[in-house]
A and B are shown apart, each in its own frame.
Chain A
Amino acid sequence: MSNAVTATADKPEPNFLEVTRGWKSWATTLDHKRIGIMYLVGILTALMLGGFFALVVRTELFFPGKTIVNQLWYNRAFTLHGAVMVFLVIVPGIPAALGNMILPIQLGAPDVAFPKLNLASFYLWCVGAACMLTSIAMGAIDTGWTFYTPYSLTTTAAVIPAVLGVFILGFSSIFTGLNFLVTVHKFRPQGMGWFQMPLNLWALYSTAVIQVLATPVLAITVLLLFVEHFMHIGIFDPNMGGDPVLFQHFFWFYSHPAVYIMIIPAMGVISELVSTFSRKHIFGYRFIAYSSISLALLSFLVWGHHLFVSGQSKLATMVFSALTFTVAIPSAIKVFNWVATLYKGDIRLETPMLYALSFILLFTIGGLTGLFLGILAIDVHLHDTYFVVAHFHYVMMGSTLVAFLGGLHYWWPKIIGKMYPEKLGQLCAIGVFVGFNLTFLPQFVMGARGMPRRYWDYDPEFTIFHQLSTIGAYILGISMFTQVVYFAISAKRGPKAPQNPWGATTLEWVAPTPPTLYNFPSPPEIPELYDYDDLVEDPEHGGFIRKPSTGPKKGGH
């Protein structure tokens, strides 16, 4: 028990942040935690950029007609917002930043299986991001983040670097996924079977499966787009006998599973948070684990629901509708299990838990509004309206990004070794929840009333909804920006974090804070997963310590 604690007390080993110094030691590091931190910096930068474009879009829509930018720049702004947020922020957000920091430590492993591949993956992310930014310099893309043909074949040359960026980012994603797959298979310690893994690892594992299987299709798709652009073969271009709807099939064959690349790791994070802050064993561990895997598999079978009004065959439409509904079941199971975990707990409303509770409510709305879009007759009315925009923001932002923020607050003390300002954190979490709902709830109404998406100008009867939405977006923007600022300050001079500030049971909280270069000075004992009985508050250092085990365990499982 607590080998780590005694080791640090006897002869403090330098932590991974101090073991070497200088920018070169970071640029060439093979340490998964440092790579995770570099990812985090990159992703937060991209998040602010994407948020800036979001505010340009929302500000423009404050009044009908022109408010601040003309139609061309509006089109570019929403395209860049979508492309940056999806490809640079949300897809890599939890796996590459949080996952890199945490996955090996949760396994009790010194690093991921292929540290060099891990670093390569980060550099590919940088190159991909640079390509996307090049496209802005070249006049920016205006195709929407989906690059639908034939429009994307007819518009400006700036599409080329953007598509190249997506191609490269795809490989970054594949490398991370491959690394995690092998790590989870090979680096699990003695005594940690599949069903002794924290649910976060199940989620990251399921995500990695999708990343490895689906992302190559994205690579193929954008490669074909290149070929079409330069060689005019006639794959997607109807003027040369191509099929523009084929592009949509290819694109969504990746991009629908990509939605689960975003949401499944979020669910993993939430499972950890809900259990820890309720001080309760997660309810229905196996159901949650299996639902992660089944979501990963089902995610491959539902891409056609993006094409219900595209002119695909009625039979295909029917089949895809039926398959789409199957996704609702594992999603519902998870929500019920999280709520049941709260039952008879001892619920602490620290910032990560506020995000976890926000997630449960926002994901519920995102999931329920998904029912509307799965029901064929209703989808015909709602497709390509603001209802869809609101729906996927509830899932991608309200769920994934909120879970990312929750996870960031949760693991920040462990990785950086400093605490963030708790009260301000709670305030921002409430700001995010309120701002988010104010932004996107009115969009459901607008959409059902028939407001099409991607409109620069709109009919006057929608004005009030757009204005509420814009006000919400600013509340959201301020809350997000404040967090980036206080994290930066906390990293410099936040109070020292205790080893286990939340009293969590997974392995990373056994490691020193911040962890040493290879995470554990000596191989750790595997603690009982989600068993909080032995963890008691430590009035001396703050946080929790494991009390020497005394007698038989209480509790009934």
Chain B
Amino acid sequence: MTGSGSASGSAVAPPTTATPPAPAAVTPGSQPGGAAAQPANTDTPIAKPDWVGSPLMCYDGKPHKWFEHEACKHWDTSGTFWMPKGANAAADGTDVMFYATLGLSIFCFFGITAAVVYFVIRYRHRPGHEPEPSAAHNDTLELTWTILPTIIVVFLFLFGWRDYVNVVTPPQKAVEINVLAQKWNWTFTHQNGVSDNVLYVPVDTPIRLVMTSKDVIHSFYAPVMRTKQDVVPKRYTFAWFYATKPGTYRLYCAEYCGGNDVPDGQPELGTGHSQMKTILVVLPKGDYQRYLNDAADTSSMKPEELGARLYEKKGCIGCHSVDGSAKVGPTWKGDFGQKASMSDGSTITVDENYIRESILSPQAKARPGYPPSMPSFEGQLKENEIQGLIAYIKSLK
């Protein structure tokens, strides 16, 4: 699978032409839910989906690896009136409990409402109507409606607890994926070292997520998996699920983590808590293995191609544009070789060393007019990846 590398000369040729079996394997298993989804094996450019704002750029017309097209599909929004589709074998109990509690609540609510409405109509004040004598208390009745709710909530607690234990206790053997959350993107690192900002997982396999945060508290939330877990800095928290249905699903940050000022005129490019969402792609089992292999293969890429990939994968795209437009951070277009004035009044030339320093310790030499919100990527990029990013910025004339 070296489609991206070889196809870069002719951008219209989709990468999948090099590997015809791949989409055939993907299509039957993947979800037909996304109507806007473009099959990966056609020659037409990928249509721009209507969910602009995610850092995924499949509508950019550039070639992409086959698995990236899965992430470009519109996510599956099917479900009942109340809940999104459930796709986690460990959380079936959650849905049962939800609907049971819903039924109980509706029953109680309408019971109480009916009583109130009936009494108000029947005993409303009108000429000649007098309050009738009735008991001011009735111990049997009151004990009944004390004990009955008690019994009900004991059962609600027990069942809720039983299902909770299922939702939070992974089996001994599970595929582990490391999750790093930071303002405002996710990095998922697989066992073979592949890291990505989209979470790809195999179907019918227990997945255990080992999560930590780089800055503030975030929360991993995949509604179809009915699972949520806060991601706390300087410690690990865990989540797990057993995906039953291949498809493309939503993945959110559920714990408020701030946001940045968005330049006027480009509200869709804002960064903050509400943009800290990505896609959860459940792949057929064999495809997951191929994803790991294909995503790991960057050896044949030119440095600037690698840089362009990392620009999306590492979330640079959230704050830096490549077309000269203003975002939270300075644009990369035409930046290389420029003289730039710094917050401390000095002037430097944007060269390889400046870019390297800005990636590893962003606040060392900061430019005025931009919030000091960029995290350090120290330890998250290999040497050739830093070189790739530098080459990519150089190429943006």
Give residues in A with beta carbon < 8 Å to B: 65-66, 70-72, 74-75, 142, 144, 148, 150-151, 154-155, 238-239, 244-245, 278-287, 309-311, 314, 317-318, 321-322, 325-326, 328-329, 332-333, 335-337, 339-340, 342-349, 357, 360-361, 364-365, 368-369, 371-372, 374-381, 383-385, 445, 448-450, 452-461, 530, 532, 554-557
- Judge whether B119 and A345 touch: CB under 8 Å: yes
Are A311 and B237 within 8 A (Cβ)? Answer: yes
- The 8 Å CB contact of B84, one of A325, A449, A554, is A449
Complex Cα spacing A142 to B261, Å = 12
Contact status B164-A376, CB under 8 Å: yes
Is there contact, CB below 8 Å, between A450 and B259?
no
Docked CA distance A71–B217 (Å) = 19
* Inter-chain contact B160/A142, CB cutoff 8 Å: no
Q: How far is the CA of A154 from the CA of B137 in the complex (A)?
A: 56
Note all chain B residues with C-beta closer than 8 A to A375.
Answer: 97, 101, 156-157, 159-160
Q: How far is the CA of A322 from the CA of B161 in the complex (A)?
A: 9
Residues in B neighbouring A311, C-beta threshold 8 A:
229-230, 232, 235, 237
User: A72 contacts B105, CB within 8 Å?
Assistant: no
Return chain A residues, CB-CB under 8 Å to B300.
Answer: none
On chain A, the residues within 8 Å of B91 by CB distance are 377, 381
Q: In the complex, what's the smallest C-beta–C-beta distance from B230 to chain A, in angstroms?
A: 5
How near does chain B come to A252, taking the closest CB pair, in angstroms? 14
Query: Which B residues have a C-beta under 8 Å from some C-beta of A?
Result: 50-51, 53, 77, 79, 81-84, 91, 93-94, 97-98, 101-102, 104-105, 108-109, 112-113, 115-116, 119-120, 123-125, 129-138, 141-142, 145-146, 149-150, 153-154, 156-157, 159-168, 215-217, 219, 221, 223, 226-230, 232-235, 237, 250, 252-262, 264, 267-268, 270-275
Q: How far is the CA of A278 from the CA of B232 in the complex (A)?
A: 53
Q: A325-B154, A378-B94, A381-B228 are in contact. Are A344 and B131 (CB under 8 A)?
A: yes
Q: Is the CB of B153 within 8 A of A325?
A: yes
Shortest distance in angstroms between B226's beta carbon and chain A's nearest beta carbon?
A: 4
- Among B250, B252, B274, the most chain A Cβ lie within 10 Å of the Cβ of B274
A452 adjacent to B254 (CB under 8 Å) = yes
Determine whether the beta carbon of A452 is less than 8 Å from that of B257. Answer: no
A381 near B94 (CB under 8 angstroms)?
yes
Please determine whether B105 and A369 come into contact, CB atoms closer than 8 angstroms.
yes
Query: Are B262's CB and A71's CB within 8 A?
Result: yes
Contact B149 A328 (CB under 8 A): yes
Residue in chain A with minimal CB distance to B264: A70
A474 CA to B104 CA, complexed, in Å: 32
A364 touching B94 in the complex, CB below 8 Å, given contacts A329-B153, A383-B254: no
CA of A6 to CA of B165, assembled, Å: 70
What chain A residues lie within 8 Å of B146 (beta carbons)? 287, 329, 332-333
- Expressed in whole angstroms, the minimum distance between the Cβ of A273 and any Cβ of chain B is 14
A371 touches B153 (CB 8 A): yes
Q: Secondary structure at chain B's binding surface: helix, strand, loop or mixed?
A: mixed
In addition to A322-B157, A380-B227, 11 A-B residue pairs with Cβ atoms within 8 Å of each other are A71-B272, A74-B259, A155-B258, A309-B219, A311-B232, A311-B235, A325-B154, A342-B123, A377-B97, A378-B160, A455-B274
Which residues on A sit within 8 Å (CB–CB) of B112?
Answer: 335, 339, 360-361, 364
Give the CA-CA distance A300 to B223 in the complex, in Å.
31
In the bound assembly, the distance between CA atoms of A52 and B307 in angstroms comes to: 47
* Cα–Cα, bound, A318→B158 (Å): 9
Determine the chain A residues whose CB is within 8 A of the CB of B79 once the complex forms. Answer: 449
Q: Which of B50, B51, B134, B219 contacts A344 (CB 8 A)?
A: B134
What is the CA–CA distance of A283 and B159 in the complex, to the nearest angstrom? Answer: 34
The CA-CA distance from A454 to B184 in the complex, in Å, is 14
Known: A151-B217, A361-B113. A374 touches B131 (CB 8 A): no
Q: Are A346 and B123 in contact (CB under 8 A)?
A: yes
**Smallest Cβ-Cβ distance to B226: which chain A residue:** A381
Complex Cα gap A374–B116 (Å): 27
Assess the B167–A281 pair: CB atoms within 8 A: no
A384-B219 in contact (CB<8A): yes
CB pair B233–A244 under 8 Å, yes or no, is yes
Contacts of A369 in B (CB 8 A): 105
Q: A309-B228, A360-B112, A361-B116 are in contact. Are A372 and B98 (CB under 8 A)?
A: yes
Cross-chain contact A357 with B109 (CB below 8 angstroms): no
**Cα separation A326 to B85 with both chains bound (whole Å):** 32
CA distance A548 to B262 in the complex (A): 73
User: Are B137 and A284 closer than 8 Å at their CB atoms?
Assistant: yes
- Closest chain A CB from B242 CB (angstroms): 15
Give bound CA distance, A530 to B136, whole Å.
Answer: 10
Nearest chain A CB to B105 CB, angstrom units: 4
Contact status B259-A245, CB under 8 Å: no
Please report the C-alpha to C-alpha distance between residue A340 and residue B115 in the assembled complex, in whole angstroms.
9
Q: Which of A150, A286, A349, A360 contacts B215 (CB 8 A)?
A: A150
**Number of cross-chain contacts by CB at 8 Å:** 295
Q: Are A65 and B268 in contact (CB under 8 A)?
A: yes
A151 and B258 contacting across the interface, CB-CB below 8 Å: yes
Known: A151-B258, A380-B168, A449-B82. A286 touches B160 (CB 8 A): no
- Shortest Cβ distance from A60 into chain B, in angstroms? 11
The answer for the CA separation of A243 and B44 in the assembled complex, in Å, is 52
Distance from A285 Cβ to chain B, minimum over Cβ atoms (Å): 7
Contact A372 B53 (CB under 8 A): no
Contact assessment for A343 and B119 in the assembled complex, using a CB-CB cutoff below 8 Å: yes
Which residues of A sit under 8 angstroms from B232, Cβ to Cβ?
238, 244-245, 310-311
Given contacts A309-B230, A377-B97, A381-B228, contact A452 B253 (CB under 8 A): yes
Given A70-B262, A381-B98, A450-B84, decide whether A280 and B163 contact each other with a Cβ distance below 8 A: no
Task: Pick 25 A–B contacts, CB within 8 A, sort by A.
Answer: A66-B267, A71-B272, A72-B260, A72-B261, A150-B215, A151-B257, A278-B131, A283-B136, A287-B137, A321-B161, A328-B149, A342-B120, A344-B123, A344-B131, A357-B116, A357-B120, A361-B113, A371-B105, A375-B157, A375-B160, A380-B167, A380-B168, A448-B83, A449-B79, A557-B136
A329 touches B98 (CB 8 A): no
Closest 6 A/B residue pairs (Cβ): A450-B223, A66-B267, A375-B160, A376-B164, A377-B163, A238-B234
**In contact, A148 and B217 (Cβ under 8 angstroms):** yes
Cβ-defined partner of A448 (8 Å) among B50, B98, B149: B98
Q: Is the CB of A378 within 8 A of B97?
A: yes
In the complex, A226→B227 CA distance in Å?
34
Instruction: Kindly list chain B residues whose C-beta atoms are within 8 Å of the C-beta of A452.
Output: 221, 252-254
Contact B109 A365 (CB under 8 A): yes
Report A-chain residues with C-beta under 8 Å of the C-beta of B136. 281-285, 530, 557
In the assembly, what is the distance between CA of A48 and CA of B272, in Å? 28
- Chain A hits for B125, CB < 8 A: 346-349
B168 cross-chain contacts in A, Cβ below 8 A: 314, 380
Please report the C-alpha to C-alpha distance between residue A40 and residue B21 in the assembled complex, in whole angstroms: 73
In the complex, which of the residues A321, A339, A456 contacts B273, with contact meaning CB atoms closer than 8 Å?
A456
Indicate which residue in B134, B162, B274 contacts A71 across the interface (CB closer than 8 Å). B274
In the complex, are the beta carbons of A372 and B101 less than 8 A apart?
A: yes
B131 contacts A376, CB within 8 Å?
A: no
The residue in chain A whose Cβ has the minimal distance to the Cβ of B262 is A70
A357 vs B119: C-alpha distance in the bound complex, in angstroms? 11
Contact in complex: B142, A333 (CB < 8 Å): yes
Residue of A nearest to B144 (CB): A336
| A328 contacts across to B, CB distance below 8 A | 149, 153
A377 to B162, CA, bound (A): 8
In the assembled complex, the Cα of A368 lies from the Cα of B100 at a distance in Å of 12
Residues of B contacting A378 with CB < 8 Å?
A: 94, 97-98, 101, 160
CA distance A337 to B145 in the complex (A): 9
**In the complex, residue of chain B having the shortest beta-carbon distance to the beta carbon of A312:** B230
A287 to chain B: which residues have CB within 8 Å? 137, 142, 146
Residue of B at shortest CB range from A449?
B84
**B145, A336: Cβ atoms under 8 Å?**
yes
